[in-house]
Amino acid sequence: MSRKNYVFTSESVSEGHPDKVCDRISDEIVDLFYRESLEQGFDPWAVRVACETLATTNYVVIAGETRGPASVTKAKIEAAARKAIKDIGYEQSGFHHQDAKVVILLHSQSADIAQGVDAAGEKKEEGAGDQGIMFGYACDETPELMPAPLYYSHKILKLLADARHSGKEKHLGPDAKSQVSVVYKNGKPVAASQIVVSHQHTDESLTSAQVLKIVKPYVQKALPKGWITKDTVWHVNPTGKFFIGGPDGDSGLTGRKIIVDTYGGAAPHGGGAFSGKDPTKVDRSAAYAARYLAKNVVAAGLAKRCTIQLSYAIGVAQPLSVYVDTHGTGKVPEAKIEKALTKVMDLSPRGIRTHLNLNRPIYARTAAYGHFGRAPEKDGGFSWEKTDLVKALKAAVK
């Protein structure tokens, strides 16, 4: 039997964290390829991007493999990177959107990989871009069906970022981290025992106590009423100073915040990062599909918690396995749910891209504050957060 009373902790990082700067740049390049494809009449199904970014003091290196319209030039890629840095808010001496040197080392996708992934008329279906395992998870702890510790860690930083961008909090810099330790009683989240916020500040003279005074109202707004008690312990800028931030303070790299991107450690992760990858890479698209299915299982009332694993082989279209674990909360047998999932959705790479409409420039917005637990958007962003399979799932398990 699972534990009912415990404390679980998750962290988040802001859009200005060095690794998130790199995730954002990589995803801006994915969006650039899709945007140019739509404008130039290039087949979006043929777009391939596997883009990694490294950032350090006034230096950005972009490397990887791509395929797309010739209109995507190095100049446009550099402009996209600089725009991302500016949007995040970096205009400091050690990392500035105008002054940073941008090195672009992108080249064509390997022909050996392409022949396994590309479809060939009616004879060969599009295969997965790599082997691997992907996980999706959902639970009833929040209205968004996300685990509470991560959801509220994200919310704290998003509220602070909105205040910074609006100009309301002029003393806050782009780089920040949060962490919330959540008390569970009888399996339900009820309070925050420890709260950590480390936030860059633009006034070097600010003390930790002064930064606490700035951030505390946003933390209080982010957390549910009654979660902060007299016993809650606060740690705000515990080193005493956080003036040097972003890639100037610590190098960044695409794909180093995969637990922040997913479920905060409350569920397994398959090992592959999301950012910088087009949706033929099942690291990304199948993880989105698994979340979509898990969320619909919980939304349909078939379980209070649901973990789904999908596995793939490079060049093979259909998943090798589909596994469901409802953690003892299921209303129907897990084997029955597994069969239902393959009935309500085609889990091949092409099937996922079609169902979730992934061949579009919707990825830069996913780079910070989580890929999951976000509201579906009118232009197709976060389509994997819809709960439009509830009726079909209920019918499939009857």
- Which domains are delineated in the chain? 6-14+148-245 (3.30.300.10), 18-117 (3.30.300.10), 132-140+282-396 (3.30.300.10)
Indicate the helix (H) or strand (E) that contains 279: none
Q: What is residue 285's predicted lDDT score, i.e. its pLDDT?
A: 97
pLDDT value of position 125:
76
Residue 312, classed as helix, strand or coil, is strand
Q: Quick check: 283 and 310 in contact, CB under 8 A?
A: no
244-270 pLDDT per residue, tens: 999 999 999 999 999 999 999 999 999
Cα 222 from Cα 161, distance rounded (Å): 13
pLDDT at 44: 95
The pTM for the full model equals: 0.95
Q: Report which DSSP code applies to 359.
A: S
Please name which of 219, 229, 153 lies closest in space to residue 190, comparing C-alpha atoms: 229
Asked whether 290 and 310 are in contact (CB, 8 A), the reply is yes
With H, G, I as helix, E, B as strand and everything else as coil, classify residue 263: coil
The phi, psi pair for 23, rounded to 5°, reads: -60, -45
User: Within a 10 A sphere around the Cβ of 1, how many other Cβ atoms?
Assistant: 4
SS3 state at 389: coil
CB distance 234 to 6 below 8 Å: no
Q: What is the pLDDT of residue 199?
A: 98
Both tokens of residue 99? 């002054």
Kindly provide the b/e burial profile for residues 205-229, where b requires at least 16 CB atoms within 10 angstroms of the residue's own CB.
Answer: ebebeebbebbeebbeebbeeebbe
Give the residue ranges of the chain where pLDDT is below 70.
Answer: 1, 109-124
β-bridge pairing 101-108 and 59-67: parallel
pLDDT at 113: 56
Give the pLDDT score at 388.
98
Which whole-number Å values give the CA distances from 263 to 21, 108, 159, 328, in the listed order?
20, 33, 19, 19
